[in-house]
Amino acid sequence: MPKLTINGKEVEVPEGTNLIEAAKAVGAEVPHYCYHPALSIAGQCRLCMVDIDKVPRPQIACNTQATEGMVVHTETERVLATRRSMMEFHLINHPLDCPVCDQAGECYLQIYYMKHGLYDPRMIDEKVHKPKAVPIGPHVMLDAERCILCSRCVRFCDEITHTGELGIFQRGDQSEIGLFPGKALENKYSGNVIDICPVGALTDRDFRFQVRVWYLDTAKSICNGCARGCNIEVHTNRNRPHHNQGRRVARLKPRFNAEVNQWWVCDEGRYGFKWMDDKSRLTHPLHRAGGQGTEVSWDGALPELVTRLQGCPPDEIGFLASPRMSNEDLWTLKRLAEHLGVRNLDFRVPPRAPGDEDDFLIRADKNPNSRGAELAGVGPGPGGRDAAGMLRAAREKRLKLLWIFHHDLAATSWPEAEVLGAIENVETVIFQGTNANDISARAHLVLPSAACVETEGTFTNFQGRVQRFRTAIPPLGESWPDWMILSFIGKALGASDPVFTAERAEQVFNALAAAVPAFGGMTYRALGDAGRMVTA
C-alpha cells in the first residue's frame, strides 16, 4: 500500500493504483477521455497530465502508478496550461455542433471546456470533415467529426466483447473510427460503447433527439431482463410528454456494480423496456363476463375477488406466481396462500424457447427473481400441485379458480391448445400483470400490476444477491404493485399477518427477512446500492 502525497494531502492507496484513481481518493479530479477503469491503458488523449516532483515534464496520470513517497500535483500552473492546450487540440477539428448535438448535457468536451479550457479559439482554417450520422449497428450512430479518438469503443470491442468490429483508420488528423469491412456493430453488448464514448460521437439510435438529458429524472434500478440482475439507472421523462413520443421511460443505463455487471449491460436488457409504456399496458381492473371486458374500480374488483376466493375450497384454487415478481410480491403471495390454505402454488413455467446465455452477463433464465421465488418457498404445499399440475387439473375441471400472475401461458413451451383448454375449463381465471396477453384476454378478472419501474422492491439474482430497485415513475393508470393488491386481499380476508397491513414494500421485506433465514438480517438500508448475498 504505497503512501503518497497529492496536492499536499497524504493518501494511501492499493498497490497498482494509477494517479487518476489515487487523486480521486483525495477529492481531486484529473480530467481524462481515453482512460476507463475497465479498459487497458491507452494514454492517448493526453489530458490527464499531472506534475510529479523530481520528474521534469508532466506525466499522464492514467499510466503512472502511485509509488511510495511520490509527490503529485494536479493543479499547478503548468498542469492547468497543459490541460488548456489539450482541450484546444481536442476541439480544433470538432464540428462544435453542440446546440444540436444529442450528447449535449453529457459531453465531456463541453464539460471539460468549461472546467479546464476557456481559451480563445485560434483555429481559422478549414476543419477536417468526416462522416456524420452513420448507423454502424442496430443501436449505434456514429458521427466521426465529433470523435476525439479516445479509442474506448475500439478497446471495448477488443477487450470486453472480443468481437473486434471497430478500428481506427487512416492517420493523423484524418484518423477516424470505423467498422472493419463486412462488419456491423451488432454484438450483444453494443450499446455500451454509447455509455463509454465521452463525447457525442457514438449516440443511441433509440434515444437520440428524443429528449434532452437535463429533462430526465433518474432512479436506481435492476434490469429485469434475466437472472443476472444488472444494476441500471432508469432515466425517465415525466414533465415533457411532448418529448420522446410520450414515453415516460426514455432509456436505461448500466450502473456500476463490481459484483454483478461491472459497468455494462446487454443490449437486450438496455432496450427491453418498451413494454413499460406500451399500449398493451393494463391500466384499470377489468371484469369480464360473456367475453366482454368492463373497466371496474378497485373497490369493485377486490371484493369480487375476495368473494370468489371464499367461494372455492382451497384445493380447487391455484396460484401461478411469476419469477418476474419481486421478493416482496412473492412473500405476500406466499403468506396469502398459507392463510387460505392454498397448496397449489408455483412459479415455474417453461419458456417456449431456451434463453440464450453467454459467459459474460447474459443468463438463460430470463426472469429476474427465480432465485428469490425459490428462497421464499413459492412452491406447492404438501400434496399441492406445481404449475404443470395446476394446468392439468384445470383441464380436468378439478380447479375452480386459477390466479395467474404475469405469465402469458399461451407463449410457453406448453401446447397452446392445452393451455387455452385449461383456461376455458376454470370457473374463475384471474390475471394479474402489467401487460395484456392471450391469458388476460380470457380472464374473468384482470388486475393491473405496476411495472417494476413504478414501484420499489428487491430481486434476488442467480448468484443469490438481493438487490433493490427504486420507484422511477408513478404507476400507470390505476395499476398497483403486486404486493399491495395481495395485501388488500389478505386484509379483506381477515388475515392477521402484518404483511397484509404493510404500507410500504420495505415493511414486507422486513417480514421476509425475519421469516426466511436466507434473508436474515437484511434491511433496505443494509442492501445499499450494491446489494447483499443471501446466507444460504
Partner 1 sequence: MAERILTRNFDVKNAHTLRVYRGGGGYQGWEKAKGMEPGVIAEEVKNSNLRGLGGAGFPTGVKWGFIPKGSTAPRYLVVNADEGEPGTFKDRYLMERDPHALIEGMLIAARAIGSHLGFIYIRGEYVQPWRILSDAVAEAYDAGLLGKNIQGTGFDFEIVVHRGAGAYICGEETGLISSLEGKKGWPKVKPPFPAVKGAFGQPTIVNNVETLACLPHIINRGGEWFAGLGTKTQGGTRLYSVSGHVVRPGLVEAPVSVTLRQIIYDHCGGIPGGRALKAVVPGGSSAAILTPDEIDIPMDVDGPKSKGSMIGSAGIIVMDETVSIPEALMVVARFYAHESCGQCTPCRESTGWIYKISHRIVEGKGRKEDLDTILDVAKRGAGTTICAFYDGAVGPYISYIEKFRSEFEDLIRSSAHA
Residues that bind partner 1 (CB under 8 A): 41-47, 49, 57-58, 60, 63, 81-82, 85-86, 89-90, 92-93, 122-126, 128, 148-149, 167-168, 170-175
Ranges assigned E (strand) in 237-375: 249-254, 286-289, 292-295, 317-320, 344-346
Strand arrangement, sheet containing 49-52 = 9-12, 3-6, 71-73, 49-52, 59-60
Query: Which residues, 6+ apart, have CB-to-CB distance to 275 below 8 Å?
Result: 281, 434, 435, 451
Distance CA 339, CA 493 (A): 9
Distance CA 534, CA 460 (A): 8
- Among 168, 139, 169, 171, CA closest to 154: 168
Question: Residue 518, Cβ neighbours under 10 Å: how many?
Answer: 20
Kindly give the residue spans of alpha helices, DSSP state H, lying in 240-326: 267-271, 298-310
Q: Phi, psi at residue 429, to the nearest 5°?
A: -110, 125
Cα 3 to its chain centre, rounded Å, is: 38
Three-class secondary structure of residue 449 per DSSP: strand
Distance CA 75, CA 81 (A): 10
- Among 386, 436, 376, CA closest to 406: 436
Backbone Cα Rg of the chain: 27
- Among 451, 419, 446, CA closest to 432: 446
SS3 content of the chain, % helix, strand, coil (to 5): 30, 20, 50
Distance CA 516, CA 536 (A): 10
Distance CA 490, CA 21 (A): 52
- Among 316, 368, 366, 304, CA closest to 340: 316
Three-class secondary structure of residue 454 per DSSP: helix
Number of H helices, E strands in the chain: 14, 23
Q: What is the DSSP string of 207-219?
A: TTTTS-GGG-EEE
